[in-house]
Amino acid sequence: MAVGSASACRSWPPPKEALTSARLDTIHLADRRVLVMDDNHDAADSLGMLLTMLGGDVRIAYSGADGVAMAAVHRPSLVFLDIGMAGLSGYEVAAGCARRSRPRP
């Protein structure tokens, strides 16, 4: 299935039956390294707490510059990134992290 195709899209909110059948206790991050980047401190902290309760090894950055530096050290396997951050946008942060993670020739 191609990304961006109509069949790959999901609606929000999910159907009621999906909400009632979803079980939070079946979701485990199994000590995955997770990085949350958001300039909204409350949103970042709340998401960070939830991901920690699910077993993630979570780090939080409140700016794009801090997030890029933290990603270089923490080497997360999962990143939650605010696209509309002030300073470095989420797009710039993602590009910077991608450049750093590519192997050098």
Dump pLDDT digits (tens) for 62-99. 999 999 899 889 889 899 999 988 888 888 888 877 77
Residue 2 has pLDDT above 50, yes or no: no
Going from the N-terminus, what domains does the chain have, and what CATH number goes with each? 28-101 (3.40.50.2300)
H helix or E strand, kind and range, residue 25 = none
Specify the amino acid at residue 34: V
Which pTM does this prediction carry?
0.70
The larger pLDDT score, comparing residue 103 to residue 44, is at 44
pLDDT digits (tens, 9 = 90+) for 23-44: 656 677 887 999 999 999 999 9
pLDDT digits (tens, 9 = 90+) for 64-73: 999 989 988 9
Take residue 91 and report the two structure tokens written for it.
């797009």
Residue 13 has pLDDT above 70, yes or no: no
Question: Which residues, 6 or more positions from 84, have their beta carbon under 8 angstroms from its beta carbon?
Answer: 90
